Amino acid sequence: MTTTQKQGQKPSSGITLPPAQAINGGEAVAYAMRQIDPEVVAAYPITPQTFIIEKFSEYVADGLVNTEYINVESEHAAMSACVGATAAGGRAQTATSGPGLALMYEMLWVASGMRLPIVMHLCSRSFSAPLNILCDHSDVMGMRESSWPMLIGSSPQEAYDQAVAMPTIAENKSVLLPVANVLDGFTVTHSVERVEVLPDEVVKEFAGEYEPDIWALQPGSTATFGTLDANDFYFEHKRQQVEAMKNSLEVVRTQLNAVGEITGRPMNLVEEYLMDDAEIALVVLGSSEGMVRAAIDQARADGIKVGMVRIRLFRPFPVADVRKALEGIGAVGVLDRAIAFGTPGNGLLQDLATSTRTMPDRPLLMDFVYGLGGRATPKQLFRQAVDEVLNMNETRVEPDEPAYLGLK
């Protein structure tokens, strides 16, 4: 097998692929952004998002895109520029990480409340202090209630494939919400891997043009965006967002399927590994999937019937899909890569507990906190987690407190 042979390989839809690239997750996202060629990209550089905007600004400088690239003074301004551009009828994208996301927090809600289909690539990173630039999901959890559909990939390939799908999800008329394409900081953004890309024209055709029904600079229109709503209709507008979020779930499914059909790489809201005959399971988000799968393989070799569920669509949380995946499972270990201080359970545990609470034979849950601030979690630790979940399945006693994997 050589790359030249690979070049002629046809995916399921019969198109001829460009050669595979050895690029990292950040460059893979920038590649998709170049192909989509949004009208506006506004961003402020922050580690580990920098690969995306460095590469994309090269494309701008080289004249490979028609994008208006705005070097803003902060992330708050980045999201504000995207809000303005999208309200004016353009297609806009941005990218950020951890503290950058925190700084644009106000505007996250403005973007979703104004129902503007912005695409953001979030390179997950811890929050300071103490200062840390590495990966965890504190930022992901920090925006989970802001009415943004959020997809979390596990590899540079998925970061690319999802990036291709994102605008069509956001701009769907039954959704009209900003969307986040999450890629784990460093472990995906900086990991150079083999990435199969699509031809430019295929992505352009798939993404199409953004065609809003109303926009702020529409001639003759009296539409206004983000005006004072006080106690007149604010409540009703928020209720509408609930529906938009609900609608987005099936739109995400359809659009991931559509991209999967072109690439030959299926993508599901919830990805399962060895779940068919599993009695217990681990549930994970993002790029730790590989190490978890390695641990599952080890445990299987030791005769333990364990599987893995990876949740790709984090918001809206795919309750029905998760329940289906966990049907008949006795005990589940939930892998949380962020702490929700002072809450009765960390983020993913809360979601699992709420989703499964009315299942007739709900699985018992135990929470594992791991990988904070980029702490590497070798497969042996996930293998230990499997043993603890197995033990819980036998004792039928759920612990009140989370376990901390790899804490010194």
Site for another protein, rule CB under 8 A: 1-3, 5-6, 20-22, 48, 133-134, 155, 184, 186-188, 190-194, 287-291, 293-294, 374, 376-379
Q: Please give the structure tokens belonging to residue 342.
A: 């002072």
CB of 43 to another protein, least distance (A): 21
Q: Kindly give, in sequence order, each residue whose CB lies less than 8 Å from that of residue 115, ignoring residues fewer than 6 positions away.
A: 176, 177, 241, 244
The C-alpha atoms of residue 156 and residue 28 are separated, in whole angstroms, by: 6
Question: Among 332, 252, 245, 335, which residue's Cα sits nearest to residue 287?
Answer: 335
CB of 403 to another protein, least distance (A): 20
CB of 400 to another protein, least distance (A): 30
CB of 204 to another protein, least distance (A): 24
Pairing state of beta strands 306-311 and 313-315?
Answer: unpaired
CB of 192 to another protein, least distance (A): 4
The C-alpha atoms of residue 64 and residue 82 are separated, in whole angstroms, by: 21
328 or 378: whose CB is closer to another protein?
Answer: 378
115 or 293: whose CB is closer to another protein?
Answer: 293
CB of 161 to another protein, least distance (A): 14
CB of 286 to another protein, least distance (A): 9
Q: Kindly give, in sequence order, each residue whose CB lies less than 8 Å from that of residue 240, ignoring residues fewer than 6 positions away.
A: none
Q: Please give the structure tokens belonging to residue 243.
A: 């529906």
Question: Among 119, 194, 188, 118, which residue's Cα sits nearest to residue 153?
Answer: 188
57 or 94: whose CB is closer to another protein?
Answer: 57
290 or 399: whose CB is closer to another protein?
Answer: 290
Q: Is 123 exposed, middle or buried (0-12, 13-18, 19+ CB in 10 A)?
A: buried
CB of 153 to another protein, least distance (A): 12
133 or 258: whose CB is closer to another protein?
Answer: 133
Report which residue type is found at 231: N
Question: Among 162, 321, 173, 320, which residue's Cα sits nearest to residue 243?
Answer: 173
Q: Please give the structure tokens belonging to residue 30.
A: 């920038």
147 or 377: whose CB is closer to another protein?
Answer: 377
Element (H, E) at 314: strand 313-315
The angle subtended at Cα 127 by Cα 125 and Cα 128, nearest 5°, is 130
266 or 399: whose CB is closer to another protein?
Answer: 266
Q: Kindly give, in sequence order, each residue whose CB lies less than 8 Å from that of residue 388, ignoring residues fewer than 6 positions away.
A: 333, 366, 368, 403
138 or 172: whose CB is closer to another protein?
Answer: 138
